[in-house]
Structure 1
Amino acid sequence: MTADQTPGLAARLAETACVRGAFTLPDGTVLDAYFDEYRLAADPGLLHDVAVAMASLIPTETEVLAGLALGGVPLAVALSAATGLPAAFLRRRAKCYGSKRQVEGIALEGKRVVLVDDVVRSGDQLLAATRVLRIAGAKVTDALCVLERPSRGRQRLAEHRITLNPLLAEADLPVPATEAVS
């Protein structure tokens, strides 16, 4: 989907969630701007509108939406509310107390599950989640995200038979020049 297909939404996302400044990724790469998913999740009107726009990206055979911790969880909840599809939630690792589960929510065995995350760059998080879900018996063939950053994420996912369906590409989302990281 492009910014033209989501009138005003790209500008609202840029205004609310794009932050300028040095931001270091886990692999050591330093970005001069980043997408702050917490700012998106904290704005109920924007989160609702993003979920409504993303709903059109969900494949028709989808049975469960799986939100990746932490950025994908509020998106999966909002998408679930907008579509009526049940949700599951993935932690980075299993809890060491309580349920001791890595996946919470609806049972996944044999179900067609779509991954939901905020930003996709390398695809590492989605690939790790896919392994967990496939071991649990889920059929994972698609992933949704708000923003696709230019990197090899899409290609790496395709190598594992996962189609990436982003709401916006980074080029669709201008970064406000006045915002600075504190």
Structure 2
Amino acid sequence: MTDQKLARDIYQAAHLTGEFTLRSGVTATEYFDKYLFESDPRLLKRIADALAPQVPTDGVDALAGLETGGIPLAVVLAQVTGIPAYFIRKEAKSYGTCRLAEGGDIDGKRLFIVEDVITSGGAVLDALHELRNRGARIDSGVCVIDREAGGLKNLSDNGVDIRALFTMSQLKEAGE
């Protein structure tokens, strides 16, 4: 059962129409600007509250918020769940600590992916491979919006079960 009011509020806050090129290279006529719902503290808290039941209560060492959109979600979700949040860069810094993940050591840690919108799953797959190469264990995660373009299946095929709070269809249905 989905929260229709939350779906409607996300749709109203973040749904844009026009011509948009997605990270995957696909051109879309609809776009969810995640920063519009992530910058609203009340809406962001409601989203974290709705995501929290999807986070395993045992065995997760840290939430892995993917740069950039997954980071604010991971921070608020950490507040709700009490699980630490790590910040995962698109690539390791070439200066300072030279880390891919900020917030703690990831070697041997079980991380739970936190992402905003998934289309093809490419950004999550890139992070997944880098994190696993550095010793992290990852088998699950959440996202706010599944664009229903095969991303969740691509991730499942790579051993990660991502649960979406809403599909794009659910948001459109709630917003219309």
Per the normalisation by structure 1, the TM-score is: 0.90
Report deviation, 1:155: 1.5
1:130 to 119, 128, 131: 128
- 1:126-160 CA-partner distances (Å, limit 9, x unpaired): 11111121122211001210000111211111111
Report deviation, 1:164: 1.2
- 1:100-126 CA-partner distances (Å, limit 9, x unpaired): 211101222222211111011111111
Aligned positions of 1:44-59 closer than 5 A = 44-59=41-56
Report deviation, 1:26: 3.3
Structure 1: 5+ residue stretches without partners: 178-182
Q: Which amino acid aligns with 1:54?
A: L
Say which structure, 1 or 2, has more relative contact order (CA 8 Å, 6+ apart).
1
1:18/1:34 contact within 8 Å kept: yes
Structure 2: 5+ residue stretches without partners: none
Aligned pair in 2 of structure 1 residues 138, 28: CA closer, same or farther (>3 Å)?
closer
Report deviation, 1:5: 2.7
Aligned pair in 2 of structure 1 residues 145, 27: CA closer, same or farther (>3 Å)?
closer
In 2: Cα distance, 1:92 partner to 1:111 partner: 19
Aligned twin of 1:180? none
Count the aligned residue pairs. 174
Per the normalisation by structure 2, the TM-score is: 0.93
In 2: Cα distance, 1:144 partner to 1:161 partner: 14
In 1: Cα distance, 2:125 partner to 2:25 partner: 20
Aligned pair in 2 of structure 1 residues 5, 152: CA closer, same or farther (>3 Å)?
closer
1:86/1:106 contact within 8 Å kept: no
Aligned positions of 1:1-182 closer than 5 A = 4-61=1-58, 62-174=60-172
- SS at the partner of 1:144? strand
In 2: Cα distance, 1:165 partner to 1:154 partner: 8
Q: Which has the higher helix share?
A: 2
- SS at the partner of 1:34? strand
